[in-house]
Amino acid sequence: MLHVLATVCVIMLGLSRALSLSADQTRIVSYDEGRRLVWARLYPHGGTTLYCGTPFTRRDATLNVEHVYPASWMTQALGCGSREQCRRTNRRFNRMEADLHNLHPDLQVTNQARSDYRFALLPGETPTVLQTCDFEHDNEQQLAEPRPEVRGDIARALLYMEHEYV
């Protein structure tokens, strides 16, 4: 499975560079606006969470808007300081943080468990957050393994963010 994911990543990266696409969205200028659009436009009637595939019918207190490419990676790539400093001083960071290609509904508990860990295939199949959720994480190695059904979506979001902003 890992070699398939790597092959898809290489193909997508090659295609995006060959087409010289430059999205660097400029219309959504804040994370608050992006988060509002996620709920109002993309998931007004519900959907499923990214990491667990948990169905939801409306926004509630157990849900967050997850950055697949974490905000901490953005601040590091741009060298603009803390998340709050970057929000105040860096327009590119604000556009990155608000880019809808990178935002997905997720349970707070899995969002917190994922933290800003890199993705990897972990040994075993023991859920580490919820028994009903195929999501594992390793705090020692700082790695997270999402369910197989969304690995391609995650790979595309990571490649897009790297290509467009970093």
pLDDT tens track for 136-145: 889 899 999 9
Distances (CA, A) of 135 to 3, 21, 123, 131, 140: 20, 33, 12, 9, 16
Question: What pLDDT does 108 receive?
Answer: 93
pTM assigned to the model: 0.81
Domain boundaries, given as residue ranges, for the chain: 2-165
Q: For the segment 89-125, what is each residue's pLDDT rounded down to a tens digit?
A: 999 999 999 999 999 999 999 999 999 999 999 987 7
Query: Rounded to whole angstroms, how far apart are CA atoms 67 and 141?
Result: 20
Residues of the chain with pLDDT > 70: what percent?
81
Q: From first to last of the 166 residues of the chain, give the pLDDT tens digit.
A: 555 454 444 455 454 444 444 456 778 989 999 999 999 999 999 999 999 999 999 888 899 999 999 999 999 999 999 999 999 999 999 999 999 999 999 999 999 999 999 999 998 776 566 777 888 889 899 999 999 999 999 999 999 999 999 8
Per-residue HEC secondary structure of the chain comes to: CHHHHHHHHHHHHHHHHHHCCCCCCCCCCCHHHHHHHHHHHHCCCCEECCCCCCEECCCCCCEEEEECCCHHHHHHHHCCCCHHHHHHHCHHHHHHHHCHHHEEEEEHHHHHHHCCCEECCCCCCCCCCCCCCCCEEECCCCEEECCHHHHHHHHHHHHHHHHHHC
